[in-house]
Every structure is written in structure tokens, then in C-alpha cells.
Homo-oligomer: A and B are copies of this chain.
Amino acid sequence: MSEERRLAVLRAIVQDYVRTSEPVGSKSLVERHHFGVSAATVRNDMALLEEEGLIHAPHTSAGRVPTDAGYRLFVDRLSAVKPMSPAEREAIGGFLRGAVDLDDVVDRTVRLLASLTHQVAVVQYPSLTRSTVRHIELVPLGRERLMVILIANTGRVEQRVVDIARTLDDERSAALVSAVRRELLVEAAGRSFPEASTRLRSLPERFEPADRDMVRTILRTLDDALSEEREERVVLAGTSNLARFGADFPLTIAPVLEALEEHVVLLKLFGQLGAGRVGGVAVTIGHENQHEGLAGASVVSTTYGSGSESVAGLGVLGPTRMDYPTAMASVRAVARYVSELLEP
């Protein structure tokens, strides 16, 4: 028996099943693809593949369906990432170029990804902890409040209102605010956020004892904005695509939707790939996802970022029965464009 043909059979099964969403049998298989052999031979191969746990028969007398392991082998060894046509590339670029805003970039990206792949798309906002400080601004609001505005090199802007226990309307206070602002910038500008945060720890000491509380409050806000919980934001689109193949994961839509609402879960999915090299596209299939609601789902994801540093992840989520080559191509292409866009 030829190892090679057996894998070709697996590949064909995956492809056909993805197309038709119906278990594929030996006969229809030899019709569509021309291996040089008969259906009976293919049947033998299929029996072996089943023994290896790569495919599975839902019922004694039905066609075969790939298992998670089967898909895994397929994406690892049997599929080539489909190249995008120049027209597609142009469409992607054109659509993203119109963005006026980081919010806008993220918004367009997630919609684009959803419509390219017909799956649920997920885009993570650039992580602050992996960005550098471009600017920090203090804006007095009313008499006892200050708005702290953090601007990252990725264009991400985070703002927070802080109450400070003193009035700000005299001359001296104005000078103080602007001194704090200046010191913040000297210390933080151009550095990574975590680094800035540590360097700033000694900042209060440079001011009069009476003023230190205010400075500390501001620094606390900055740290708070960097905390895991608050700093990670995630956006999604295309959830209606889940309903499109209602028959597919039959009543499993609910748990998937629930998982998607739990942003924490999503972040874990992307967290796994962590600081992976920018080029790579990661795929987690079915039960490889920790969350049990996602047992029937696969995630195709990658990272994007300005320069060679990745600052966040993006990807798509769909049924395990998913067109992996296309999804991987789209995810990779979009990530590349977004990275370019954040470059300058």
C-alpha cells in the first residue's frame, strides 16, 4: 500500500467534505478525483485511515468525515496556502486604506476578514504593553478632575478621568500640571509602556510633598490602563456566518456565541500564539481549543504589528469543517496589510 496515496485520499476527503458538508464515500471520491485506482482500493485506504484515527464514519454505512487529527494532518502537510489574486490584494488594500482612525482600521479589518472568509472574524486591539508611548496628555476637566490621555505608537488612544483631591483653578496648579506633563513625557516618550511605568515610579519624589498625591494618582491610572484585564480589547464581526450553516454544528451555535461574548476566552485563543513570529499563521482545531464550547470550532489566527514586533492578534473562527487554505491566505494577507498600515 502506498503511504502517499493514502494521504492523497485524506486530502480529497477533506476537500470534498468541506465543499459538500456531507460524509464522503469511496465511490463519489473516485468519481471526482482520479487516483489511478478503483473504489475498492480506496476503501482499503479509508479503512487504514480510520484505524489511524484520521477519519471517522458517523454511521456504519455512511461516508467518512475527517477527525480533528485528520484536519490537523491536512493543514500541516497536505495543503498549500492559496495565493491571493492581485485583484483580491488590491481590494483588501483599497478597503483598508480609507480608514481615518485606529478604531476605524480595526473596524474595517474585522469586517473585511469576515466577508473574505465567510466566518466569524476576530481582531484584537494593539496591546498597550507591547507598544511604546508616543505621547501623554493631561487635560483639566472641571475643577477637581483631570483627564489622562495615553497615545501609543500604534495609534491607540486610551483615556481615563481621575479625581484629584485638590482644586486646579489657581495659577500654581496650572504650572504644576504642566510640569508633571513635561516630566512624564521626558521619562516615557518613545519607551515601551512597561518600561515607562517602572521608570516613572520615582516621579513623585521630584515634586513637593503636597503635590505627590496627585502625581501618584496619575501614575496609578497609567498602571491600571496597562493591567491585563482592562488593556486587552477585542472586536468581532460576521457572527451571522455561524447561522449560515445551521445544519453544521447543529445546535452548537449557542455555546459558540457564548464563548465569543466572553472576551477573556477569545484572548486566550490568541494568547497561545503569543509573540509568535509575524509571518506564521496558527491553526487550532476542534478539541485543541481549551474552551469546551468551541470543541466543534477551529481558529485560524496570526499576529500583526508595526515593524517586526507583533502587537496583537487577529483571525477567524469557524466550524472545523472549514476551508483552511483560503482562511489562512486571507488571514495572512489581511494581517500583512494592517501591519503596513500601522507602520508610519
Residue positions of A touching B, CB distance < 8 A: 100-101, 134-135, 137, 139, 141, 147, 149, 151, 155, 157, 159-161, 224, 230, 237-240, 242-244, 246, 251, 253-255, 257-258, 260-261
- Complex Cα spacing A149 to B100, Å: 14
- Complex Cα spacing A141 to B260, Å: 36
- Complex Cα spacing A251 to B312, Å: 35
Question: Are A240 and B224 in contact, with the CB atoms below 8 A?
Answer: no
* Smallest CB separation, A243 vs chain B (Å): 4
A161 surroundings in chain B (CB, below 8 A) = 100-101, 155
Question: Are B246 and A251 in contact, with the CB atoms below 8 A?
Answer: yes
Question: Are B261 and A239 in contact, with the CB atoms below 8 A?
Answer: yes
* Smallest CB separation, A216 vs chain B (Å): 17
- Complex Cα spacing A135 to B161, Å: 13
A135 surroundings in chain B (CB, below 8 A) = 139, 141, 147
A139-B135, A239-B261, A261-B239 in contact; A157/B159 too (CB < 8 A)? yes
- Complex Cα spacing A139 to B152, Å: 13
- Contacts A101-B160, A137-B139, A147-B151 aside, 5 further interface pairs with beta carbons under 8 A come to A100-B160, A100-B161, A139-B151, A157-B157, A242-B257
Nearest-CB residue, chain B, relative to A245 = B254
Question: Are A141 and B147 in contact, with the CB atoms below 8 A?
Answer: no
A137 surroundings in chain B (CB, below 8 A) = 137, 139, 149
A239 surroundings in chain B (CB, below 8 A) = 239, 257, 260-261
A160 surroundings in chain B (CB, below 8 A) = 100-101
A147 surroundings in chain B (CB, below 8 A) = 135, 151, 157
Q: How many copies, total? A: 2
A100 surroundings in chain B (CB, below 8 A) = 160-161, 224, 230
Nearest-CB residue, chain B, relative to A242 = B257
* One of B101, B157, B244, B258 near A240 (C-beta < 8 A): B258
Question: Are B257 and A243 in contact, with the CB atoms below 8 A?
Answer: yes
A155 surroundings in chain B (CB, below 8 A) = 161
Lowest 10 CB-CB distances: which A-B pairs, in order?
A240-B257, A243-B254, A240-B258, A243-B253, A157-B159, A239-B257, A137-B139, A243-B257, A240-B254, A135-B139
- Complex Cα spacing A255 to B240, Å: 8
- Complex Cα spacing A251 to B239, Å: 15
Question: Are A254 and B244 in contact, with the CB atoms below 8 A?
Answer: yes
A157 surroundings in chain B (CB, below 8 A) = 147, 149, 157, 159
A134 surroundings in chain B (CB, below 8 A) = 141
- Complex Cα spacing A251 to B257, Å: 16
A255 surroundings in chain B (CB, below 8 A) = 240
A237 surroundings in chain B (CB, below 8 A) = 261
- Complex Cα spacing A322 to B189, Å: 53
* One of B101, B230, B238 near A261 (C-beta < 8 A): B238
A240 surroundings in chain B (CB, below 8 A) = 254-255, 257-258, 260-261
Nearest-CB residue, chain B, relative to A114 = B261
- Complex Cα spacing A244 to B260, Å: 15
A147-B151, A261-B240 in contact; A101/B139 too (CB < 8 A)? no
Question: Are A253 and B246 in contact, with the CB atoms below 8 A?
Answer: yes
* Smallest CB separation, A51 vs chain B (Å): 37
- Complex Cα spacing A317 to B27, Å: 48
